[in-house]
Amino acid sequence: MPELPEVEVVRRGLERWVAHRTVADVEVLHPRAVRRHIAGADDFAHRLKGHHIGTPSRRGKYLWLPLEETNQSVLAHLGMSGQLLVQPHEAPDEKHLRIRVRFADGQGTELRFVDQRTFGGLSLHDNTPEGLPDVIAHIARDPLDPLFDDEAFHQALRRKRTTIKRALLDQSLISGVGNIYADEALWRARVHYERPTANFTRPRTAELLGHVRDVMNAALSVGGTSFDSLYVNVNGESGYFDRSLDAYGREGLPCKRCGTPMRRRPWMNRSSYFCPTCQRAPRVSS
């Protein structure tokens, strides 16, 4: 799965190459890619035709293209392997090309949705008054959003009977933090992933949020520099960013802070990577 920084880089690419262009026509090459659009492929294509794409927007890992002149947006579900590519018309079709959007201008490029495993897709939705596609209205703001409320997040941690990594991955509390960046931020903050949140102090919450933002901004600055080409791409599996990771994936390697071999533990069908010295497990309450 792509993480927030990857999705933000795609958003920036779309803003540069697709925003304010007019849709000439839409070609759906595989019906599964529009299965979330209940009225079907023809209806999807018809509703986009003739509209201007507004400024691409993002919340957490969700990305959407507002359609100007309407109160609707095209939501992109990237799934495991979805990619949005801006390609010259003459570029050969990708093997797993699912949707093609042509524009009514002379720029010579088109938008392609490519998805090997067809878990992803595009769908059209009404916007909430806030301008969010209605199906993601319940998704909390992400930590890079200037309107993210640190104090409200802290109060939610205090209220919830949960543990910190669960809270970081809870999209109704904070969006866009995936498994990788949760492990990275917890390692930086020296907090064990099973630490209960109920007794988090305000400074501890603030420090952790600071680390979450730091790891995301560091990834953004790497991805942002390699992106000055006619190409928009996201593919979490191939590791679009050359990530420099301190915790995730480092089982058995020395902790970069204290040298203790890093550990991996199964966690909610995933893994948690941590340093057993820097990130002490909480005592089991009796």
Distance CA 90, CA 44 (A): 24
Region near Zn ion per CB under 5 A, out of 3-11, 148-156, 227-235, 267-275: 267-275
Q: Tell me the closest approach of the beta carbon of residue 250 to Zn ion, in angstroms.
A: 11
Nearer to Zn ion, 123 or 279 (CB): 279
Characterize the bridge pairing of strands 263-267 and 97-103: unpaired
Q: Tell me the closest approach of the beta carbon of residue 279 to Zn ion, in angstroms.
A: 7
Q: Is 61 in the active site?
A: yes
CA 47 to chain centre: 26
Catalytically annotated residue among 204, 213, 270, 276: 270
Region near Zn ion per CB under 5 A, out of 36-44, 62-70, 149-157, 268-276: 268-276
Answer for which of 18, 122, 140, 278 binds Zn ion (CB under 5 A) is: 278
Distance CA 200, CA 207 (A): 11
Nearer to Zn ion, 75 or 255 (CB): 255
Asked if 280 touches Zn ion (CB under 5 A), the answer is: no
Q: Which residues contact 102 (CB under 8 A, 6 or more apart)?
A: 23, 24, 25, 26, 27, 89, 110
Q: Is 2 in the active site?
A: yes
Distance CA 165, CA 225 (A): 30
Answer for which of 26, 85, 247, 275 binds Zn ion (CB under 5 A) is: 275
For 118, counting Cβ atoms within 10 Å of its Cβ (0-12 exposed, 13-18 middle, 19+ buried), the class is: middle
Give the DSSP H or E segment for 17: helix 4-17
- 96 annotated binding-site participant: yes
Answer for which of 39, 104, 258, 268 binds Zn ion (CB under 5 A) is: 258
DSSP letter assigned to residue 230: S
Closest CA to 111 of 130, 136, 94: 94
Total count of residues recorded for the chain: 286
Answer for which of 114, 255, 267, 272 binds Zn ion (CB under 5 A) is: 255
Q: Which residues contact 126 (CB under 8 A, 6 or more apart)?
A: 71, 72, 133, 134
Asked if 253 touches Zn ion (CB under 5 A), the answer is: no
Q: Tell me the closest approach of the beta carbon of residue 244 to Zn ion, in angstroms.
A: 17
Whose tokens are 């089991």? That residue is: 284
Catalytically annotated residue among 2, 56, 133, 143: 2
- 117 annotated binding-site participant: yes
Nearer to Zn ion, 10 or 186 (CB): 186
Catalytically annotated residue among 61, 112, 188, 243: 61
Answer for which of 206, 263, 277, 282 binds Zn ion (CB under 5 A) is: 277
For 262, counting Cβ atoms within 10 Å of its Cβ (0-12 exposed, 13-18 middle, 19+ buried), the class is: buried
Answer for which of 89, 117, 138, 257 binds Zn ion (CB under 5 A) is: 257
- 36 annotated binding-site participant: no
Active-site residue list? 2-3, 61, 270
Residue numbers at the binding site for Zn ion (CB under 5 A): 255, 257-258, 260, 275, 277-278
